[in-house]
Amino acid sequence: MKIAAKRIAENLLFAADIFILFLVLFESKMTIPAWLQSVGRMHPMFVHFPIVILLLAMGMEFFRFNSDYIKESFYRHFTTALLLVGALAAAITVIMGLLLSNESAYTGSSVDWHKWMGISIVSIASLVYWNRNAEWYKAPIAKSVAVIAVICVIVAGYLGAGITHGEDFISSPLLALHATERVPVDKAVIYTDVVQPIFTRKCMSCHNSGKAKGGLILDNPVDILKGGKIGKLFIAGQADSSLIIERIFLPEEEKKHMPLTGRPQLTKDEMDIIYRWIQSGADFKKKLIELPENDSLRLTASKFLVPPEEEKYDFAAADEKTVRALSNNYRVVYSVAKESPALVVDFYNRNQFSSKSLADLLPVKKQIVELNLNRMPVEDGDLKVVSQFENLRLLSLNFTHVTGSGLVQILGLKYLKSLSLSGTKMDHSSFPAIGNIKSLRKVILWNTGLKGEEIAQLRKANKNIRFIEGFRQDAPMQLNPPILLTTNSVFTDTIHVLLKHQIPGIQMRYTLDGTNPDSIHSPVFNNDVVIDKSTLFKARAFKTTWLGSDSVEQHFYKSTYKPDSILFISFPDDSYKGDGAEMLSDHITGDLNFGDGKWLGFQKDMEVLLQFLKPVKIHSVCLHMLKNSGSDIYPPQQVQVWGGGDKTHLRLLQMIKPVAAVKGDTPSIFLEECKFPATRISYIKIIAVSVKKSPKWGNSPNKPGWVFTDEVLLN
């Protein structure tokens, strides 16, 4: 029975070898029927079996002539059986591969090399099997062919992985260790630094020089312009008529959708970039900064690049209370960025603007780097105050009453980079020599009354300044979200929510019920929104021919009462004690960075006592808390609120058991509210019982957990 099976296998191996030779000689003249195509597509599934068998067989063949094994009949017979099974399995796999390679998806040098490596493996395995008992077949030959066969198996496997997953599939993790940083926005070439990396990540596993599915290669501009077997990949300037746009925007379940189902898909931003790049002319050399600042391609592409390095300022930050006091319902003052001393000032209400409202800013004149006076009734005389903002970088005077004569007063602003004068009435004869501001790089003169030839003269006289006389932009795929200018999240009575957006002509809509705003039913944001209760505020930007932006959102918390004093009964850990107990009522909330000094952290029960010099009527006590199980920060097991007129005789007003953390929770900020019948009290004691043993799935199993809070809301 064993001899019969061996003979059948030997005959099959011989037949397979002949069939492989036939396929190699006549593959260019053959048309593979559909049923054989299905057999060919089993190649990736079947290929792993002969690899394991052959590696084991060749390893045993390498040591076959060792004195310990040469007389072992079991070793000899087992090796023979492995060689026969391995050679036959490899031959069947190669036949499948040759059938598969006839499909149009598989072309290129990698496919050719993979094919010949596979044929070489079958040839070597067959020759070894048929000749291993010949007189001339000695130890040196056995070791040599074993090593060659193993090398061929490894190379074929490497090439196969590259054909299936992309040429850098194996090496990409190593290359990533030495990858260079993302390119800065101001140095990026649109194709090289934005479009081509998308092709590399999402398309080139099937469309590279080694595996050109459909005859399409995407690893160089020449082949991209050439297209594939179906035709041109795109028509420059006509994205909607381009093949690539049709394929990538098809539903994923569609057969012709690209990338193929199961492969990493293009994100919305990546699709937008390809669309806008083609629509803008598919230039392979154009730099990103050559596009207008508000161009949709530039806005989206910038997400994939390193933003320009933030400017460093050599002045100290202004007093935080002073900055907060300067913000009101017609003017907002806020920091350029977190931890930055630089300030931005925006004016909103035209009717409440006055010269005094500008002069009020003089206490922070050194810190103001951006001043937006758009559509305010600013006169030439007001620029005398503006000239005192010595570190000003950006000044917007669009649609104000200033004239060229008045601009003379700001020529001393030695750091000014951008001056916007759209909609003002300028006269060329009185226009100042703004080239004297050595730092100035951009002046916007749209609709100022200056003629084209006059602006041309300004350009000629000021080579380092970019004069913009018009505004042009292509319809973008999506707007940026609005910028929320209201920085305080806790208020006592009401709070004015202020928004801005960089793109002119947009409409902002908002909701106060937690739903996402839409472009039809949600209220339109005008100057501001007044909120008088705890609310989740969401806003989006809309504009005709643009897609609506993502939502910007902010929780606003009402805390009607502020205690006159707060005392720790149990103290926070020294690492997370911030500025002390007063942090619980300073109306400043922290974010997910629990180490920023805005949170109080307790690794035991938190107990605090709040006192009111005059009794207040309270019906709700709410803790603003943090959850981060990866750092052993959990919701408390229990929250108790005690109250009364005498701190030695307090009664339990409410006790709740918060929802416990579960495995997989993401870090988040949450509220724990205790409601009770309205009670007139002078003292409130709050106890938050910490987790005594962290869960087994936690970062520190069975060790005490932390309780983090930063604000107590009293209503």
Each residue's pLDDT tens digit, 564-607: 999 999 999 988 888 889 999 988 888 887 877 889 999 989 99
Each residue's pLDDT tens digit, 211-221: 677 788 888 88
- pLDDT value, residue 708: 95
Find, among 514, 532, 530, the residue nearest to 522 by Cα. Answer: 514
Q: Which residues of the chain have pLDDT under 70?
A: 1-4, 6, 9, 11, 13, 16, 26-49, 98, 100-110, 161-182, 210-211, 262-263, 293-294, 307-310, 338, 470-477, 545
- Beta strands 490-491 and 552-558: pairing type? parallel
Dihedral over alpha carbons 573, 577, 583, 584 (to 10 degrees):
0
The CA-atom distances, in angstroms, between 9 and each of 57, 60, 81, 86, 609 are 16, 20, 10, 11, 87
- pLDDT value, residue 170: 52
Domain 320-468 and domain 483-557, same fold? Reply is: no
For residues 198 and 196, give the distance between their C-alpha atoms in angstroms, rounded to a whole number.
Answer: 5
What does residue 461 show for φ and ψ, rounded to 5 degrees?
Answer: -80, -20
381 token code pair = 């005389």
Does residue 375 contact residue 398 with C-beta atoms inside 8 Å? yes
For residues 221 and 226, give the distance between their C-alpha atoms in angstroms, rounded to a whole number.
Answer: 8
Largest distance between two CA atoms of the chain = 111
- pLDDT value, residue 174: 43
For residues 649 and 588, give the distance between their C-alpha atoms in angstroms, rounded to a whole number.
Answer: 31
* Superfamily for domain range 320-468: Ribonuclease Inhibitor (3.80.10.10)
For residues 109 and 294, give the distance between their C-alpha atoms in angstroms, rounded to a whole number.
Answer: 44
Distance of CA 17 to the CA centre of its chain: 53
Q: Which CATH class is domain 483-557?
A: mainly beta
- pLDDT value, residue 180: 43
What does residue 110 show for φ and ψ, rounded to 5 degrees?
Answer: -65, -40
Helix (H, G, I), strand (E, B) or coil at 85: helix
What does residue 549 show for φ and ψ, rounded to 5 degrees?
Answer: -75, 170
- pLDDT value, residue 164: 60
For residues 611 and 645, give the distance between their C-alpha atoms in angstroms, rounded to a whole number.
Answer: 10
For residues 484 and 498, give the distance between their C-alpha atoms in angstroms, rounded to a whole number.
Answer: 6
How many degrees, rounded to 5, is the angle at CA 507 between CA 529 and CA 530? 0
3 state SS for 420-433: ECCCCCCCCCCCCC
CATH for 565-714, options being 2.60.120.1190, 1.20.1630.10, 3.40.50.2300, 3.90.1150.10: 2.60.120.1190
- pLDDT value, residue 257: 82
- pLDDT value, residue 25: 74
Peptide bond into 481 cis (omega under 30): no
How many degrees, rounded to 5, is the angle at CA 470 between CA 469 and CA 472? 150
- pLDDT value, residue 654: 94
Domain range annotation of the chain: 2-165, 180-304, 320-468, 483-557, 565-714
For residues 523 and 577, give the distance between their C-alpha atoms in angstroms, rounded to a whole number.
Answer: 42
- pLDDT value, residue 175: 43
Find, among 562, 553, 499, 560, the residue nearest to 533 by Cα. Answer: 560
Number of neighbouring beta carbons within 10 Å of residue 152: 22
217 token code pair = 């290669």
Find, among 275, 201, 191, the residue nearest to 237 by Cα. Answer: 275
How many degrees, rounded to 5, is the angle at CA 269 between CA 196 and CA 513? 170
Record the pTM: 0.42
